[in-house]
Amino acid sequence: MTKLNSSFMIGDVEIPHRTVLAPMAGITNSAFRTIAKEFGAGLVVMEMISDKGIQYNNEKTLHMLHIDDGEHPVSIQLFGSDGDSLARAAEFIQENTKADLVDINMGCPVNKVVKNEAGAMWLKDPEKIYSVVKTVKSVLDIPLTVKMRTGWADASLAVENALAAESAGVAALAMHGRTRQQMYTGTCDHETLATVAKAITKVPFIANGDIRTVQDAKFMIEKVGADAVMVGRGARSNPYIFTQINHFFETGKMLPDLPFEKMLDIAEDHLTRLTDLKGETIAVREFRGLAPHYLRGTSGAAKIRGAVSRAETVAEVQELFAQLR
């Protein structure tokens, strides 16, 4: 493939690589974002934040807004059902956090989010998309972006929704190649993503969905026509994928996968950072759900996964990991 310039711009913010860590609830806190950044993610996006949580000074929500100095550029993603409420939350972020960008979630398919008229519910009405983007953008000096899906039940409004966001003033648009109805089943709709990529001409188009290898990222750039790739679940078990994709985009050469022992090192580092961020009790509890992603594909891992899911302390997890070395 043609070698790419490493960086691209979102508004006036330079993104040093064409790789973006997708927002993932319960995963993309500061502990994991710093890991992804160190492995080369050009932009990292915070797990989605409730606009109402910010307005009501919810302690848990405000704690989630922590940004480490090593994360920049970093984006905070908001979800909500009302333009004015989202605008107030965006203004708070701009004035009280270190965020470089604000993103509006228009793709979350989870029931508790869409029942509140947020997330993927926005996909039903391009005029509402235009209105909310215009409203939120009016209070911001930092760039505003949107992440959406191809549609609610089908992709018939994908281009219209994307153009509504672009014409209202987003600085970049990310799209996941599934409808809300698909949730996380089936496969990424590359055809619709390619159609949207052609339609979006004023701002970067970031493609998301089923990017688990360098070849998947290459396809998104070469065939779909994306300006950058957003990696979610593919990075959850292998943040090294950012190093691999960046290296390929910049040199045309493939880097080998990391050996399993190196993946264990990353997992332990993740637990350490999570402990520093949230304290041992919460960190170990959360890590129980993260560990299986790191422990795939090696003999004896199934038994260890089960034991990690019952661990109470960092020392217990470390002892279990030592059995795999």
Q: Which residue has the tokens 């502990």?
A: 31
**pLDDT score at 3:** 59
H/E segment holding residue 9: strand 8-10
196 touches 204 (CB < 8 A): no
**pLDDT score at 300:** 72
**pLDDT score at 85:** 96
Q: Spelled out in words, what is the top-level CATH class assigned to the domain 260-322?
A: mainly alpha
Cα torsion 185, 49, 142, 85: sign = positive
**pLDDT score at 119:** 93
d(CA 275, CA 218): 35
Confidence at 194, pLDDT banded by 50, 70, 90: very high
Confidence at 2, pLDDT banded by 50, 70, 90: low
Range list for CATH 1.10.1200.80 in the chain: 260-322
pLDDT at 1 over 60: no
Write down the catalytic residue from 21, 41, 108, 162.
108
pLDDT at 299 over 90: no
Helix axes 158-168, 126-137, angle to 10 degrees: 20
- CB neighbours of residue 56 within 10 Å: 11
- Across the range 289-308, mean pLDDT stands at 84
- Across the range 91-98, mean pLDDT stands at 96
CATH homologous superfamily of 8-251 equals Aldolase class I (3.20.20.70)
Confidence at 324, pLDDT banded by 50, 70, 90: confident
pLDDT at 243 over 70: yes
**pLDDT score at 134:** 98
**pLDDT score at 296:** 80
188 catalytically annotated? no
Name which of 95-99, 179-183, 292-296 the model is least confident about. Answer: 292-296
Percent of the chain with pLDDT over 90: 88
**pLDDT score at 303:** 85
Give the pLDDT confidence of 40-78 residue by residue, as tens digits: 999 999 999 999 999 998 898 999 999 999 999 999 999
Name which of 4-8, 9-13, 151-155 the model is least confident about. Answer: 4-8
- Closest by Cα among 222, 233, 137 to 185: 233
Range list for CATH 3.20.20.70 in the chain: 8-251
d(CA 33, CA 52): 24
Burial class for 292, CB neighbours closer than 10 Å (0-12, 13-18, 19+): middle
Average pLDDT of every residue of the chain: 94
